[in-house]
Amino acid sequence: IDEADSILLDEATVPLILAAAADETQSVAFERAMLMAQTLRRGRDYTIDAGQRRADLNDEGRAAVSAAVQALSGDKGLLRPARRAHELVAAALSARHALQRDRDYTVHDAKLALIDEVTGRIADGRQWTGPLQAMVELKEGLAPSPATRVSAQITYQRFFPRYLRVGGMSGTLAEARRELRVLYDGRVQRVPLAKADRRQWLGERLFADTSSRDAALVERVRRVVALGRPVLVGTDSVAASVRLSQALRTAGIDNQLLNASQDAHEAECIARAGCSGVVTVATNIAGRGTDIVLDAAARAAGGLHVVATMRNRSRRIDRQLIGRA
């Protein structure tokens, strides 16, 4: 397994799903639930769990939804029983308030594409389960995907131990050795570096707000580029990468952008990222599968300068970015 810690741990609870076609009339219920969600108020009727990126109805919200269903004219069966209506409205609220475009998903060719949180790349073939996918599509004004129902599912954590032997590699397995031992009875063997590590850690800087941090980043990049070194700036979302790329351009610093929206040009961007004076702004670059090769001028100037603009939820993701230096 390539990037074994990412697959076996970070995505351990991601389900592999077999889906079958479902009743197409569900789309009417989705639209009604989305309209109901617009009438509810945060705090009074529902709460947002930012960590789980989910909205939850409270007692007042459930009562309001039940009353709205009773007030509907025409067929109410699509929103019965009450638990079904509550589930759909909670999904609509999650789509409207908990999930963000260019962080959790993007839109390509009038279609919704989920973004892998670990790699920052488009997660081909992946969809949200239940009504959430359709709700986000309605939010973005897209045609809802064909309705499906889950026939069978299994998580990665239960799937991989079914193999007789499981092995993998990653540059950041050492700190995950305890989890891998408990979950998969797997042991970690460290492979020595082929050459001595010459990476230099320049410490951390903290800022009171995003604008102050962005201004400091622009100045740092300006100084490093003047030395002839290439620079890689890591961000945690598509939106942040676009904002920083624009801030650099406004300051007169040309740069190339690598995020879920530019996946098709990934190899080209990586090929240039090690050239002297080239600035690359990228979402989490773990798992991109391509070395950043330095040209002679960049190597003579001191190598690739990496700037992490935030701390990720997983320390391993931070290390994967830092490891590009």
Q: What is the pLDDT of residues 99-120, one digit of tens each?
A: 989 888 988 878 888 887 766 6
Q: Is the pLDDT of residue 208 over 90?
A: yes
pLDDT at 79 over 90: no
Calculate the average pLDDT of the chain: 86
Candidates 283, 292, 205, 216; CA nearest to 248 is 216
| Two tokens, residue 146 | 């064909």
Task: Dump pLDDT digits (tens) for 257-300.
Answer: 988 665 557 778 888 899 999 999 998 764 456 778 999 999 99
Q: Hey, is 54 helix, strand or coil? A: strand
CA distances from 59 to 34, 84, 240, 312 (A): 19, 15, 36, 34
Lowest-confidence range among 49-53, 245-249, 299-303?
49-53
Q: What distances in angstroms separate CA 233 from CA 71, 177, 273, one per listed residue?
A: 53, 29, 11
Residue pair 230/278 in contact by the 8 Å Cβ criterion: yes
Nearest to 278 by CA among 263, 292, 264, 290: 292
Instruction: Determine contact, residues 73/63, Cβ cutoff 8 Å.
Output: no
CA 280 to CA 17: how far, in whole Å? Answer: 36
The pLDDT assigned to 152 comes to 87
Cα distances (angstroms) measured from residue 169 to each of 93, 172, 295: 39, 9, 27
Cβ atoms 226, 257 nearer than 8 A? no
The angle formed by the CA atoms of residues 83, 87 and 92, to the nearest 5 degrees, is 150
Angle, CA of 160, 161 and 166, to the nearest 5°: 70
- In terms of pLDDT, which residue wins out, 263 or 144? 144
What are 160-196's pLDDT values in tens digits? 989 999 999 988 888 889 999 998 998 999 999 898 9
Whole-model pTM: value is: 0.70
